[in-house]
Amino acid sequence: MSILVGRETRLVVHGITGREGEFHAQQMQDYGTNIVAGVTPGKGGQRALHGTVPVFDTVAQAIHATGANTSVLYVPAAAAPDSILEAVTEGVKTVFCITEGIPALDMLRVVEVVREYGARLVGPNCPGATSPGRAKVGIIPGSIHREGSVGVVSRSGTLTYEAVQAMTDAGIGQSTCIGIGGDPIIGTNHTDVLKLFAEDPETDAIVLIGEIGGSAEEDAAAWAAEHMADVPKVAFIAGRTAPEGKRMGHAGAIISGGSGTAAAKVTALENAGFLVAETPTEIPALLRRAGVS
């Protein structure tokens, strides 16, 4: 079993005829993801990915014709909010927004509508998700993965890649890897993903990758302490040397008013039973120490 993406995924790619959309759609299809449709306004009736995927003018047309249940967005920031809303109002239950640079005020409205429709938004500004050997949605390289039982949730794309590659090199496989995005307003947080992993019978251990800013990691630690006490748990927090008031990398990675510090997050995670790595490459050794074989 996997969470959010898997063999049951029927994917529609928003912006499939654009440079980024076409490139990553091909990578996803090559990995085995079932891409059933693409959407580019004005290019309906064409076919993408060497003629294997029909292109539609609207998401509604794509869903009604193909039964798509998952969306991934490779569209400009100005178009992304409406693209997300179009997907969820037409019945898509899982939307991955790879697009970055969407204003936070726009996302406040979008996230509320997504919740009203009972859908799930991952992102924006996220790398997507991979269930090794089953499907990948987004921009995470498929080659770094190995099938296994460790669930990975991360705010950072590149740190996800580094940690997953280190795990794979050490012979430790993953059940699902999810990058939730580093913007201040996102649709799915660490705790949301931990809840999904807790219900997945094929996820036996957790890797949580966070960074400075906000309280999402502390909230996830508190939930895990209560609900995943016996599950092997490893974490890494980026930005330990970041100065207060200066944004580091992601828009949400900023320490303000003494909150959101790496030290506070590390303490909360350790108190919840996580082994906290000093570097991403230390994660496999800590997983072994936690009992992951």
Catalytic residues: 250
230 burial (CB, 10 Å; 0-12 / 13-18 / 19+) is exposed
Residues present in the chain in total:
293
Contact 121, 18 (CB under 8 A): no
Residue 221, both tokens: 């630690």
DSSP line for 165-176? HHHHHTT--EEE
**Omega before 127 cis (within 30°)?**
no
How many CB atoms within 10 Å of residue 34?
17
CB 150 within 8 A of CB 290: no
Helix (H) or strand (E) holding 55: strand 53-56
Maximal C-alpha separation, the chain: 56
- Per DSSP, helices labelled H in 98-215 are 104-116, 157-169, 190-198
Find how far residue 164's CA is from the centre of its chain. 13
Report angle CA 120, 273, 265 to the nearest 5 degrees: 65
Contact 179, 159 (CB under 8 A): no
Which alpha helices (DSSP H) does 184-251 contain, by range? 190-198, 216-227
